[in-house]
Amino acid sequence: MRSVPARTGRSLVAGLSTLALSAGALTGPVSAAPAPAAVQQAVAQQAALQQGAGQHEGARLHTNAELARALKHIERASHGKVRVRSIGTSNQGRPVWFATLGTGPKRLMYVTQQHGDEPLGTESALLALRTLGLKNDRASRALRSKVTLGIVVRANPDGHQLQWRYNYDPTADPEYGEPGKGYDMNRYHDPAMSPEDNPVPEAAAIQRRFAAFRPSIMVDYHMQGRYAFPSPDGREITTSVYWPSNPGVPADALKSSKQVGVRVHDAFTKAGAVVSQYPGGTYEGIARNAYGLRGAASVLVELSDLPPERQNFQIRTAYFSMVDLARAAAAGKLEGIAPGRADQIPLRGPALPDDGAASKTAHDHEDAA
């Protein structure tokens, strides 16, 4: 395990396996709601741990080798309930891991860390796999009989190793990315581009897995800079969500995407997050749009790059949203959500000055190169 500089917010949640928040069904409104008692207690416990470890110590995150070991450990401990396999290989020869659990007809797929320097969703996914895959109580067994969940855990292992946004490709001359460095993976999911023609092997692996797995729900976890709501609210945003905005997305896929977006918003809000809409573009190569064009309920989640002492909070809230969405899907609670509530989620405001994440803020908008 390794720590990374506080400025980047890229670092392994100590004691991940001890965190087992109870993420029950949520039905809260779009307006802010108090965090459940279990979440409040976990926040207080983690704050106490951080006090002892140093006030500004951030989260710690798994190296690629440690991630492989953690996934295999979860697989063994699950006694067959969690299955882990590689669905592709990066240009530097690292596996792209895909973990699945459940046997139910409702299929969900999560993707974490398409951008190598946006790691917190990967840590949340490990927590979610432990909670949903290792428990063997009646409720957990019932959930696994109703849903099948697949997670691409760290889609960009080379970018993670190099601590940069792109994949690794010294031959790259990309429309989106940096020449001689690599491609911006989240621009290479266009349904019109076959995996065989995709210059990004990790994105091609996600395309193939989506086609084979056939999820009805697709959620993509990223990180953004630091932002506030417009005045006079002014609160700092901790999370942003968005759904497909390409005009070619089928009406039913847009409706279901907004329903999932509302549920994800509500879960984050009940876990104590401050949530806005993300100002995303319409480009069809962005995963949020691409998988909506393919008919899935497709949602983007952006965790703000908060100071080190708040990174564990970000990991927990994303974990809470992952578990809650699976439980809501299993319980049939998504179809009754009014999709118009998504449009009531407040818009993201201006970037905060001198937030220590200027390079990330410059790339946040999905139309940026």
Per-residue pLDDT, 299:
98
Task: Tell me what the mean pLDDT of segment 346-362 comes to.
Answer: 71
Mean local confidence (pLDDT), 111-129 = 98
pLDDT over 60 (residue 360): no
Phi, psi of 217, rounded to the nearest 5 degrees: -130, 135
- Mean pLDDT in residue range 105-121: 98
- Output the CA torsion sign for 332, 334, 335, 338: positive
pLDDT band at 23 (very low <50, low <70, confident <90, very high): very low
Q: What is the mean pLDDT of residues 60-83?
A: 97
Mean pLDDT of 11-28: 34
Q: Which two tokens stand for residue 237?
A: 């945003």
User: If you search the block for the tokens 């029950």, which residue do you land on?
Assistant: 24
- Sheet-wide strand order for 82-89: 82-89, 95-101, 147-153, 106-112, 217-224, 297-304, 239-242, 275-277
Asked whether residue 249 carries a pLDDT value surpassing 50, the answer given is yes
Residue 6 has pLDDT above 50, yes or no: no
Q: What is the pTM of this model?
A: 0.85
Tokens of 241: 């969500």
In the block, tokens 């007809």 appear at 105
Q: Are strands 147-153 and 95-101 parallel, antiparallel or unpaired?
A: antiparallel
The whole-number average pLDDT for the span 223-252 is 96
Rounded distance between C-alpha atoms, residue 201 and residue 349, angstroms: 35
225-237 mean pLDDT: 94
Residue 18 in this model has a pLDDT that exceeds 70: no
User: Whose CA is closest to 321, among 221, 210, 244?
Assistant: 221
Domains and CATH numbers, the chain: 21-353 (3.40.630.10)
Highest mean pLDDT among 43-47, 191-195, 355-359: 191-195
Residue 101 in contact with residue 82, Cβ under 8 Å?
yes
Q: Which residue has the higher pLDDT, 58 or 252?
A: 252
Lookup: tokens for 365 = 């908008």
Please state, in angstroms and rounded to a whole number, the distance separating the CA atoms of residues 277 and 242.
6
- CA-to-CA distance for 2 and 18, rounded, in angstroms? 19
Can you give the pLDDT at residue 252? 98
* Average of per-residue pLDDT values in the chain: 86
Which residues are CB-neighbours of 79 under 8 A, at least 6 positions away?
A: none
More confident residue, 328 or 1: 328
Nearest to 326 by CA among 269, 278, 263: 263
* Per-residue pLDDT tens over the stretch 148-189: 999 999 999 999 999 999 999 999 999 999 999 999 999 999
Strand (E) or helix (H) holding 16: none
pLDDT band of 354, cuts 50, 70, 90: low
Range in 1-10, 195-204, 306-315, 327-336 the model is least confident about? 1-10
- Rounded average pLDDT over 90-117: 98
pLDDT digits (tens, 9 = 90+) for 136-151: 999 999 999 999 999 9
